[in-house]
Structure 1
Amino acid sequence: MSKINAAGTVRLGRRHVKRLGYGAMQLAGPGVFGPPKDRDGALLVLREAVAAGVDHIDTSDFYGPHVTNQLIREALAPYPDDLVIVTKIGARRDEAGAWLPAFSPEALTEAVHDNLRNLGLEALEVVNLRVMFSVHGPAEGSIEAPLSALAELQRQGLVRHIGLSNVTPAQIAEGRRICDIVCVQNQYNLAHRADDALIDDLAREDIAYVPFFPLGGFTPLQSSILADVAHGLGATPMQVALAWLLRRAPNILLIPGTSSVAHLRENLAAAELELPDEAMAALDGVGASAGAA
């Protein structure tokens, strides 16, 4: 497999990482709950990603729970010096796999220690505070209390850098008054573009923007425009969707996930796909039509 160049790098705290990383969520079982169907296959995907040059892996101890972090440790520890593992806290799973908020100082502290133990690390490079005021997406509300608790764990040396996930611009502004914010992780893709202005604002501040569900998530992106552009470029629609994100803004850092080595290779190849201006213009229309629907 060819090494990725990922169209340059993005600053992530004290490190610079390639713009195309890997999201580990899909390594857990169905619904991101329980063990993978193919444990050996999951380990192979992680090893192949790093062998291909991926230096940024996104995970969380509430994936499984504990499953993806334990797989990452088994597959990759001792970790390469250039590998940045980013995790998130602020949620938990119940016995049926439901996603529940876990915002108290005690819950956040426990989550950090769970991530440290299951990843086999002494400090977490980046921890995203996942805000869960609504299950349907970002919702307004103060994040001062949980973020202050996370900032205290940073002062203790357990966390090096802090990011935010599933947040509004007002919450980002509030968060930046409490501590340095090195990245924002929200839903964004070719068809879901509510954060257009936010991405540009963060780019001016040199803050990384990490879109989750870059390929649509559990409902993959479907668009005749996307399919037509991909056909014209000799690429797959998903490669074009990732390439569009890489060109959309210089601070976008991608974490497409998969449990398949074949899909991993397909995703990573998107870093080498060049989109001409006319393709970008056509693809921009996908978001406009989706917003009008």
Structure 2
Amino acid sequence: MSTTPSPEPSEFSDVTATGAPRPGGAGPLVGRTVSRVGYGAMQLERLHGDRAAAVAILRRAVELGVDHIDTAQFYGDGFVNDVIREAIGPEDGVLVVSKVGADPNPGGPVPLRPAQRPEELRASVEDNLTSLGLAQIPLVNLRRLDTGPGLRAEGDQAVDLDDQLAVMTALRDEGKIGAIGLSSVTLEGLRRALPAGIACVQNAYSLVARDDEDTLRLCAAENIAWVPFFPLGGAFAGLPKVTDEPAVLQAARSLGVTPSQVGLAWLLHHSPNTLLIPGTANAGHLEANVAAGTVTLDDATLAALDAVPTRSGDIVLD
């Protein structure tokens, strides 16, 4: 992966640098224009034994108009970043976003361990720079452990947000990262962080898990990109799934699309600052996710979907 950026298409262009139509239309992120349907690379770690297949998924994503890829050094213990470095070139015009706040934990009961201390955040940024082959990562999300689902911070991993923002701001000032994002952040935490300049928020959010509606509204008011993870719910046992909802199933039947596409389309319709990063290791699922950007929901369908109650749980990985 080259450190030289490719020419950016004109502001809010309907096509990417490769000439592909932007799935879901165009949206802003760190001063760039990206497709509103991007790609979350976490599931590429499932292809650890078939590197060629992992590269092929990324190349297909670019062909389909994806120019926003979300990754992390702790995905596959560096494997995913290494594949991105091989598969994506400067001519593709792809904005690669990474995150810090956890480290790989091979052989542990959970494949990740918290890495929240300032020196760990700095080390993680350095590891991402090396594995991606970049001089600067355009956007790095700080994965907080304040809210679920997922890991929780305990002991010396319970670090004050201001201390973490201090090192992230220093890394930005040094030119190692271009912008700061937050992940799994509370509404109070986001408000505290605003003076540092926040470009993106990544929280678990879907049609059936809308506890963060106030956080989404604040992001919209502050021109912060909202990039939900677990966009279809059901990531862990005990969490509700968007695709089980009767209103979603009915909409899918009426529109001739899949329930997953309805769930993703609802997110795009719900707020204009939403950028999606659905992940998959399957080419067919990738194509279906991208096609969700073309699904139109009429007022009656939107009203039926909006009426679905939020039933998010709080699953913690021990």
TM over 0.5: yes
Find the partner of 2:160 among 125, 142, 159: 142
Q: In 2 relative to 1, CA 290–217 (structure 1 residues): closer, same or farther, beyond 3 Å?
A: closer
Amino acid at match of 1:91: A
How do residues 1-293 of structure 1 correspond to structure 2 at under 5 angstroms?
A: 3-29=20-46, 36-76=48-88, 78-80=89-91, 82-97=93-108, 98=110, 99-133=112-146, 136=149, 142-177=160-195, 179-216=196-233, 218=235, 220-221=241-242, 222-286=244-308, 288=309, 290=311
* TM-superposed deviation, 1:174: 1.2
Task: Say which SS state the counterpart of residue 6 (structure 1) adopts.
Answer: coil
Task: Say which SS state the counterpart of residue 111 (structure 1) adopts.
Answer: helix
Aligned to 2:12: none
Q: In 2 relative to 1, CA 11–225 (structure 1 residues): closer, same or farther, beyond 3 Å?
A: same
Q: In 2 relative to 1, CA 135–231 (structure 1 residues): closer, same or farther, beyond 3 Å?
A: closer
* TM-superposed deviation, 1:266: 0.4
1:61-106 Cα distance to aligned partner (Å, 9 max, x none): 0111111101111111x33362100000011122325322212222
1:184-242 Cα distance to aligned partner (Å, 9 max, x none): 00000110111112212211211100000112253553212211110110000011111
Report the identity percentage. 42
Give the whole-Å Cα distance in 1 for the aligned partners of 2:189 and 2:307: 29
Q: In 2 relative to 1, CA 71–8 (structure 1 residues): closer, same or farther, beyond 3 Å?
A: same
Q: Which runs of 4+ in 1 moved over 4 A?
A: 137-141
* TM-superposed deviation, 1:289: 5.8
Give the whole-Å Cα distance in 1 for the aligned partners of 2:56 and 2:276: 20
Q: In 2 relative to 1, CA 213–107 (structure 1 residues): closer, same or farther, beyond 3 Å?
A: same
Q: 8 Å contact 1:20–1:254 — kept in the other structure?
A: yes
Q: In 2 relative to 1, CA 262–17 (structure 1 residues): closer, same or farther, beyond 3 Å?
A: same
Give the whole-Å Cα distance in 2 for the aligned partners of 1:10 and 1:289: 26
Worse-matched range after superposition: 96-105 or 166-175: 96-105
The total of aligned residue pairs comes to: 283
5+ residue gaps in structure 2? 1-18, 314-318
Give the whole-Å Cα distance in 2 for the aligned partners of 1:37 and 1:193: 36
Aligned to 2:3: none
* TM-superposed deviation, 1:175: 1.2
Amino acid at match of 1:96: G
CA RMSD, aligned part only?
Answer: 2.2
Give the whole-Å Cα distance in 2 for the aligned partners of 1:190 and 1:203: 18
1:234-255 Cα distance to aligned partner (Å, 9 max, x none): 0000111111000000000000
Give the whole-Å Cα distance in 1 for the aligned partners of 2:96 and 2:253: 35
Task: Say which SS state the counterpart of residue 211 (structure 2) adopts.
Answer: coil
Give the whole-Å Cα distance in 1 for the aligned partners of 2:207 and 2:194: 28
Q: In 2 relative to 1, CA 173–5 (structure 1 residues): closer, same or farther, beyond 3 Å?
A: same
Aligned to 1:32: none
Q: 8 Å contact 1:4–1:271 — kept in the other structure?
A: no
Give the whole-Å Cα distance in 1 for the aligned partners of 2:214 and 2:302: 18
* TM-superposed deviation, 1:3: 4.3
